[in-house]
Structure 1
């Protein structure tokens, strides 16, 4: 055994002893909160006690929580530490308003903040409605015209506007686990949500990492722990990590059984990336872990390869009466009702690549007595077919102005969309400044302080089916057109691909389009997709000769276009007979 691996294992054992349910280690080179996190917020009621776990903290002098319009100091009840962790017990005031709070801790080594980590409720729910997202894959292309951020942007807006209690994300949060740019992007986008998010890792989150860097440098730093539990009144939510190979190791299975045994009377929900039952299976299934061979033909292949792990996992689900298991990974739907009482729900990718199904999400309601309802479009039966809601049919974009003094939400809801949204509250994150006003379809503006340098603005807007809504909050008007440049183009047969740079110094860009006129006089326009930063790519079928130009439109409606360019390509060489 190498020296490095030896110390990693010793550290891991210390964490398991000191913090059951938080089996990961974080570097002590910088101060950080490791529990609770934005990916595993702590639910509680006013007057409750909360343990906050930190690394690199030194002496702890004060703790406070912040939500839009609220700021409370939390009395420190006790502090203690070992060689790895500093733990401070605090008391939530009895007059605290129900909200999702950021936690701030002042230590000898500086002030540290964890966003959206404390979920204060007025009372615990008897029913919970969950928005299930999965396979986000930030850093990847979702399809030929959109990056993963495009659909995840829509999903984060849905978290805020749909009538759900919280969101779960069952792994593959980024496309490559060692991609720091994508991890930071996932962190920033997720923390625009104003409802709790419970998140687990998938196999892609492990790519390019090892047992040490996964927790200290990548996932653990920017997302959260490998596996965890949270108590929500009569419910327990358990997040698991099936690793890069798609099964549960003995350590995690042992922890899972201890957790299920301790909370035997709770209604149990498990999140795991790899589904036990394969995708494209929609049916009721009867069986027993004792006769695993009769079931394994329906299992996903990684569990078949580790059948003893699958058997033990199923035993725990059966013996401790788990009601709901949410999974992803396959980028397609699946749903099994097992022995009439456990729902295994697999949901298509929200924003990753896929082979045959659309990008989507599910809405699931669970009651404290264990009954489960998987919602679906009116013409779909989730126990018989793919029935996730299609996120591709929606446009829900959040556009920040480059100076932080404006933000816009653009929403387009098709006439036949199966969910009714109607009047809703939209949220905008803005720098503190004077002169903010609501523009476009935004009504009833409210500004609330959020931390030392930020506002959260809320407006009312009506998202009706068949409508396009543009809601902006800005400190100044935008009357300046955007900047746009056609950098280069290529012609292949009848197809032209154009590479574009575009930006806007005001409220931000709405869209960038490639316009063309063919040799026969046909005119058209296609929207470019946002590749990264200020770069866009557009492809159109124009024929080998055409006139092309690029049009940029900003959120305020100002437009700019490039000079027109004539393109041509010589005819293909004919092969002599």
Structure 2
């Protein structure tokens, strides 16, 4: 009996050990599977577009500038390419390109093709469509906005410069920035790194590419530290292409460099940049663009706007004074070499981002030549309290000169911070507004309506010339059948697929002003409507209650022009501090209206009057009662971004799940397993 009891106890212990080991394996497997599923690299995502996976150049992130009648260079990352054809296309026209030469370039380690641009091509930006065969496989690849055709090389360029959005968290700011770029209509845009928060997060690329592809103008992308996953930029290279490259537009030379994950440029890359500068020594305007700044915060804090009579020998003084950005101090040999290149080869502009705030200084060398070191504000979600999101808009010339009035917002001094052109009122500032240049088409601009209105409101103290305004109208009526308010503007008219594309010419948007046009072939006698007036939020801060009211209005005729809103309480009538346009689509226009009220106010009567572009109007009054105080918020944004970057949320979920599994395991271990005797 004792022997039998001993045997049963040993078997039970053995079974318990086996089951416990199985539990360990099961729990460990579950943890590993969860982690793997939570961080699947975006390389397997079908949504992300790998522009540079097969075609290396040109790309939407690196367009090719080319003259009419000249050769367009195409690089393909395959050895065997045949039956190659190319087409360039935009919404108005398309052109078949003739193949001049095709060969495998051993030095570049890729297949190269040279196509002739026709002499009758309209100078603008085009998509490139490539068709070819390689090893029996047929390819058809579209590289959007990748061929930039000129009549002749420009003497001046309007360059819009920005950086750092870090999607998914910064998507609402990037979206507003893209809308602004499309209205202002620069010659080119350079976006300087930190496109995404983390390159292995699929949604980050999905959101960035969604808005990136909506940009109308030629756009050049520079890599930032957030495009690195550890020491690797492989994902960026497959989506956006080269991490360092040069662009020549006539007498303009732009050199894009990679400061890597730690904020410095390796010597081999600097040697490459020097070769490019030597080969293009006679170019009139030279610029370097990289992510981490050369000069650091001390330049801003001490308002060091100009450094005069500087030579390469003064580099050590700059180091000793603590003027360099911190990431360069462990790489002073590289910093010195970079500074030497800038002075020796007369690099006019050095454009950087990364710090999420403006930093500016001008270095005047011993030859009296100016070198503009500009670090721009950005459009990221994580900026300092009260700092603005924004961009720069330079006017540069092929002889090497810069219109210094365009270095900073409204012609400010470079030490009168903030110096970027703002797209918002500042982080944490109430009332908060995102979008200081607002515009919309009403009711819609889709080629289906015989009446369309355009309105742009500029709340900035800066005038913008040659903004982009284009109406799309049904083409079953001639252009002369359409009438205009206030008057017929200068325009270019194209008829494509039964639609009229009417591009207005030389439209100026003055500072602190608005521009309106209505084109119509039908009258509008119907009044607009107020769809809803509701309380969005109440924020109490510093003895003030901010009442935020949602107002949505509608007009399906010529479209909504404006709304007037006021609030009444205790026989007092107050006007709003801010009326913020949130969205305009399909006749609906939505606003957030901010009222500044005493905290004791518990009920207001909101009156709304809406007027359309045909001067029809409607009004409504609504009583709104305070439902109870809500928590103070930092700022009210048009769209809600992720308050915590998505990769951190994934990490937190993984940790919490593993912790729960371990607790379950401990409970099982404490209770033991009751094995059934066979």
**Aligned residue number for residue 335 of structure 2:** 310
Matched, 1:530 2:560: no
**Matching residue within 515, 522, 534 for 1:469:** 515
- CA deviations on 1:391-435 (whole Å, 9 max, x unpaired) are 459524245866834776432346x945474xx463337597645
Q: Which moved more, 1:524-533 or 1:109-118?
A: 524-533
Q: CA deviation at 1:390?
A: 3.8
Distance in 1 separating the partners of 2:157 and 2:126? 20
Distance in 2 separating the partners of 1:233 and 1:63? 24
Matched, 1:337 2:360: no
Q: Could you tell me whether the CA contact under 8 Å between 1:174 and 1:204 is conserved in 2?
A: yes
**Aligned residue number for residue 459 of structure 1:** 504
**Aligned residue number for residue 22 of structure 2:** none
Cα–Cα, structure 1 residues 53 and 458, in superposed 2: closer, same or farther, change >3 Å? same
- Aligned 1:143-222 pairs, distance under 5 A: 147-160=173-186, 165-173=187-195, 178=201, 179-191=204-216, 193=217, 196-204=218-226, 211-216=233-238, 220=240
**Aligned residue number for residue 405 of structure 2:** 375
Q: Could you tell me whether the CA contact under 8 Å between 1:513 and 1:552 is conserved in 2?
A: yes
Matched, 1:282 2:282: no
Q: Which has the higher strand share?
A: 1
Q: Could you tell me whether the CA contact under 8 Å between 1:152 and 1:351 is conserved in 2?
A: no
**Aligned residue number for residue 565 of structure 1:** 624
**Matching residue within 250, 270, 285 for 1:233:** 250
Cα–Cα, structure 1 residues 554 and 332, in superposed 2: closer, same or farther, change >3 Å? farther
**Aligned residue number for residue 3 of structure 1:** none
Cα–Cα, structure 1 residues 497 and 243, in superposed 2: closer, same or farther, change >3 Å? farther
Distance in 2 separating the partners of 1:539 and 1:271? 40
Cα–Cα, structure 1 residues 169 and 475, in superposed 2: closer, same or farther, change >3 Å? farther
**Matching residue within 546, 563, 566 for 2:603:** 546
Distance in 2 separating the partners of 1:329 and 1:561? 48
Q: Could you tell me whether the CA contact under 8 Å between 2:163 and 2:353 is conserved in 1?
A: yes
Q: CA deviation at 1:35?
A: 1.7
Cα–Cα, structure 1 residues 289 and 118, in superposed 2: closer, same or farther, change >3 Å? same
Distance in 1 separating the partners of 2:197 and 2:265? 21
SS of equivalent to 2:213: helix
SS of equivalent to 2:184: helix
Distance in 1 separating the partners of 2:539 and 2:343? 60
**Aligned residue number for residue 260 of structure 1:** 277
Q: CA deviation at 1:228?
A: 1.6
Q: Could you tell me whether the CA contact under 8 Å between 1:413 and 1:466 is conserved in 2?
A: yes
Q: Could you tell me whether the CA contact under 8 Å between 1:98 and 1:121 is conserved in 2?
A: yes
**Aligned residue number for residue 103 of structure 1:** 128
Cα–Cα, structure 1 residues 546 and 85, in superposed 2: closer, same or farther, change >3 Å? farther
SS of equivalent to 1:114: strand
**Aligned residue number for residue 640 of structure 2:** none
Q: Could you tell me whether the CA contact under 8 Å between 2:144 and 2:213 is conserved in 1?
A: no
Cα–Cα, structure 1 residues 491 and 344, in superposed 2: closer, same or farther, change >3 Å? closer
**Aligned residue number for residue 72 of structure 2:** 50
Q: Could you tell me whether the CA contact under 8 Å between 2:377 and 2:420 is conserved in 1?
A: no
Matched, 1:35 2:90: no
Distance in 2 separating the partners of 1:344 and 1:357? 22
Q: CA deviation at 1:256?
A: 1.8
What stretches of structure 1 of length at least 5 have no aligned partner?
1-23, 572-577
Matched, 1:495 2:513: no
Distance in 2 separating the partners of 1:181 and 1:554? 38
SS of equivalent to 2:179: helix
Q: Could you tell me whether the CA contact under 8 Å between 1:246 and 1:274 is conserved in 2?
A: yes
SS of equivalent to 1:47: coil
SS of equivalent to 1:298: coil
Q: Could you tell me whether the CA contact under 8 Å between 1:408 and 1:555 is conserved in 2?
A: no
**Matching residue within 119, 122, 127 for 2:148:** 119
Distance in 2 separating the partners of 1:305 and 1:508? 59
SS of equivalent to 2:89: strand
**Aligned residue number for residue 159 of structure 2:** 131
Q: Could you tell me whether the CA contact under 8 Å between 1:132 and 1:361 is conserved in 2?
A: yes
**Aligned residue number for residue 294 of structure 1:** 317
Q: Could you tell me whether the CA contact under 8 Å between 2:358 and 2:420 is conserved in 1?
A: no
- Aligned 1:326-365 pairs, distance under 5 A: 326-330=351-355, 331-339=357-365, 340-349=368-377, 351-352=379-380, 353=383, 355=385, 358=388, 360-365=390-395
Q: Could you tell me whether the CA contact under 8 Å between 1:502 and 1:552 is conserved in 2?
A: no
Q: Could you tell me whether the CA contact under 8 Å between 2:288 and 2:347 is conserved in 1?
A: yes
Give the TM-score taking structure 2 as reference length.
Answer: 0.64
Q: Could you tell me whether the CA contact under 8 Å between 2:178 and 2:212 is conserved in 1?
A: no
Distance in 2 separating the partners of 1:114 and 1:250? 32
Cα–Cα, structure 1 residues 378 and 49, in superposed 2: closer, same or farther, change >3 Å? closer
Q: Could you tell me whether the CA contact under 8 Å between 1:413 and 1:468 is conserved in 2?
A: yes
Q: Could you tell me whether the CA contact under 8 Å between 1:53 and 1:88 is conserved in 2?
A: yes
**Aligned residue number for residue 8 of structure 1:** none
Q: Could you tell me whether the CA contact under 8 Å between 2:539 and 2:629 is conserved in 1?
A: no
Cα–Cα, structure 1 residues 134 and 512, in superposed 2: closer, same or farther, change >3 Å? farther
SS of equivalent to 1:443: coil
Distance in 2 separating the partners of 1:397 and 1:553? 17
Q: Could you tell me whether the CA contact under 8 Å between 1:335 and 1:382 is conserved in 2?
A: no
Which of structures 1 and 2 has the bigger CA Rg? Answer: 2
SS of equivalent to 1:260: helix
**Aligned residue number for residue 395 of structure 1:** 437
Q: Could you tell me whether the CA contact under 8 Å between 2:535 and 2:624 is conserved in 1?
A: no
RMSD: 4.7
Distance in 1 separating the partners of 2:151 and 2:627? 67
Q: CA deviation at 1:245?
A: 2.9
Distance in 1 separating the partners of 2:76 and 2:498? 24
Distance in 2 separating the partners of 1:386 and 1:491? 29
Cα–Cα, structure 1 residues 566 and 343, in superposed 2: closer, same or farther, change >3 Å? same
SS of equivalent to 2:237: helix
Q: Which moved more, 1:302-311 or 1:488-497?
A: 488-497
Q: Could you tell me whether the CA contact under 8 Å between 2:192 and 2:221 is conserved in 1?
A: yes
Q: CA deviation at 1:470?
A: 2.3
Q: Could you tell me whether the CA contact under 8 Å between 2:551 and 2:593 is conserved in 1?
A: no
Q: Could you tell me whether the CA contact under 8 Å between 2:535 and 2:547 is conserved in 1?
A: no
- CA deviations on 1:540-567 (whole Å, 9 max, x unpaired) are 3333412255859697577686853322
What stretches of structure 2 of length at least 5 have no aligned partner?
1-49, 426-435, 631-678
Count how many residue pairs are aligned between Structure 1 and Structure 2.
Answer: 526
Distance in 2 separating the partners of 1:531 and 1:208? 39
Cα–Cα, structure 1 residues 155 and 425, in superposed 2: closer, same or farther, change >3 Å? closer
Distance in 2 separating the partners of 1:564 and 1:251? 69
